[in-house]
Amino acid sequence: MMKSIVLGCLGIIFSMAGIAGAQPISYQGHLLDGGMPAEGLYDLECRVFDAAVDGNQLGQTVVIDDLLVSGGLFSAELDFEYEFDAASMFFEISLRPGASVDLHDVLLPRQQILPAPTAINATFSVLAQNLTGTNWSDGGVSAFEGGLLLFGEGDDRAIINRPDALTADEFFGVHVTSTLTGGMMVSNEDALGVPSVSYAVAGAVGATHSYAAIGEKGSEVGTWVLDVGGSVALEATSAGVASPQFRYPTSKTQAVTVAGDVFHSALGTPFIASFFGGGAYLTTPGSNDPLVAPILLPHGATITRLVGRLEDNVPAADISITLTGAQSDGNLVAIAAVDTGGVTPAAGIQSLASIEITKGSDVVDNFTTGYYIRVFSTSWPGDSTMRVWSVTVEYTIDGPN
C-alpha cells in the first residue's frame, strides 16, 4: 500500500545552496502522503546522477534514517563528497516509513539541481562561507548598516563574467556577452533614494556622481549630478545639461571675423560696403570719415591678436584698422591696431597682423564696454584702390562661448 501511495501521490519541492566545492548541501523538502502533508519519521536514500534517466552516479549515496517530517516539511544536510562541477546534475530520492524494513521506494522523475542565491544576513555574511579562495572574509556587522563581506588586500582584482582584467589598471570589472544593453547596475529601492558612485583617494571622497528621480526643486524630472570637491560640477536632466563653472582643461584659441559688407560710415559720408563688390570704402575723395562695424566678443575672453585684410594702392595716404573699446564712462580705448604706414602700396589683398595688445583692456568685459572695428584714412581716394575686406580678432577662452 505504501509503495502505491508514494509513487502516485508524493511530491518534492527543494532548493540547493552552496553547490560549489565538495561540501554539504542544504536540502529542504515538502512531502505529501495520500495527498496530505506527511507526519512522522521517514528513511531517505539520496543520490545525484549526470542524467535524468539512467546515467552515472556522482558522489556517494547519502543515507538518513528516522528523519522527522512535520506538516509535510523537512530539511537535511546532504554530503555527497563530490565536487559539483558536472554540466548536468539530477537529484534522486528514495524513501520509506521510518519503522519499515521494506526496500526504499524511488521517486520519479529525478529533479535537476539548480543553484539558488545565498542570502547575506544583516549580522553575518553567510556568502563568505561558500566562496572559495582566501581573499574573501566575513567582516561581521558594518560600522554603518548591515552585514559586511570583505574581499582582497588592496591589490586583488574582482572580475565578473571574464577570465581576467583587460588592463593592469582594472581592479573591478563587469562583462556581458549580449546584443542587448548590459553592464553594472546601481539601484535604490526607495523612491526618494539617490543611487551613487563615489571616488576617494587616501580615504577622502573627492567626487561623486549620483541620480535622483525627484529633481532638486521637486519636479519629476530625473537629475544626474557630478559633484567634485563638495560642489556641483555638472548636472544633467532630460531638459539639458548645466554647469555652474564649465572650464576647458587648457585655454582654447578662437576668433571672430567681421566681413567688409557690415561696415558703414561713422559720419554719414557716402560709402560702398559689399561682400560681392569686394570690401568697404568711402566714395568721396579726400574724406577722412572712418568706417566702423560692431564686433561681438565672448565675455571673459582674452584678446590676443588683430588681423586686417585690406588693399592700399595709394602712395599718398595710409589706412589703419583699430579694435576699439567704448567704455560706459565715455572713454574710447584702442586695444589693438594695424596700419599700412611704411608698407609699399600694392594692388591686391594684404594681411597685416598685430599682437601688441593694450594690457588692462585685453580681457573682454561686456558689462562695461562695447567693442567695434574702426577703419580710418587721412584721405580716402574714393575708389577701391583703398578698402577693407575683413577684420579678424583672435582670443583665448577657458570655457564655451
- Please choose, from the candidates 22, 204, 6, 207, the residue with its C-alpha nearest in 3D space to the C-alpha of residue 107: 6
In a domain, 187, yes or no: no
Domain count, the chain: 4
In a domain, 299, yes or no: yes
pTM passes above 0.95: no
In a domain, 160, yes or no: yes
Instruction: Please indicate, yes or no, whether residues 345 and 215 belong to a single structural domain of this protein.
Output: no
Neighbours of 119 (CB within 10 A): 11
**48 contacts 69 by C-beta, under 8 angstroms:** no
In a domain, 247, yes or no: no
- Give residue 321's domain range: 252-397
Instruction: Please indicate, yes or no, whether residues 204 and 270 belong to a single structural domain of this protein.
Output: no
- Please choose, from the candidates 120, 60, 54, 52, the residue with its C-alpha nearest in 3D space to the C-alpha of residue 87: 52
Query: Tens digits of per-residue pLDDT, 69-84?
Result: 988 888 888 888 887 7
Query: Tens digits of per-residue pLDDT, 141-167?
Result: 777 777 777 778 788 888 888 888 888
Cell of 240: 539639458
**43 contacts 93 by C-beta, under 8 angstroms:** no
Q: Residue 218 has what pLDDT?
A: 43
Instruction: Please indicate, yes or no, whether residues 38 and 148 belong to a single structural domain of this protein.
Output: no
Instruction: Please indicate, yes or no, whether residues 11 and 84 belong to a single structural domain of this protein.
Output: yes
Q: Residue 33 has what pLDDT?
A: 77
Cell of 16: 540547493
Give dist(CA 165, CA 148) in Å, integer: 25
- Among the three residues 242, 260, 278, which one is the final residue of a domain in this structure? 242
Instruction: Please indicate, yes or no, whether residues 343 and 257 belong to a single structural domain of this protein.
Output: yes
CATH code at position 392: 2.60.120.260
Q: Residue 277 has what pLDDT?
A: 60
In a domain, 212, yes or no: yes
> Which residue blocks in 17-121 are alpha helix, DSSP H?
none
Instruction: Please indicate, yes or no, whether residues 282 and 372 belong to a single structural domain of this protein.
Output: yes
Q: Residue 335 has what pLDDT?
A: 96
Instruction: Please indicate, yes or no, whether residues 316 and 377 belong to a single structural domain of this protein.
Output: yes
Point out the residues of the chain with pLDDT beneath 50.
1-20, 116-130, 217-220
Q: What is the 3 state secondary structure string of 168-195?
A: CCCCEEECCCCCCCCCCCCCCCCCCCCC
Q: Residue 152 has what pLDDT?
A: 80
Which residue do the cell numbers 608698407 mark? 343
In a domain, 55, yes or no: yes
Instruction: Please indicate, yes or no, whether residues 236 and 327 belong to a single structural domain of this protein.
Output: no
Instruction: Please indicate, yes or no, whether residues 238 and 264 belong to a single structural domain of this protein.
Output: no
Instruction: Please indicate, yes or no, whether residues 211 and 333 belong to a single structural domain of this protein.
Output: no
Is 241 exposed, middle or buried (CB count within 10 Å of its CB: 0-12, 13-18, 19+)?
A: exposed
Instruction: Please indicate, yes or no, whether residues 137 and 162 belong to a single structural domain of this protein.
Output: yes
In a domain, 155, yes or no: yes
In a domain, 369, yes or no: yes
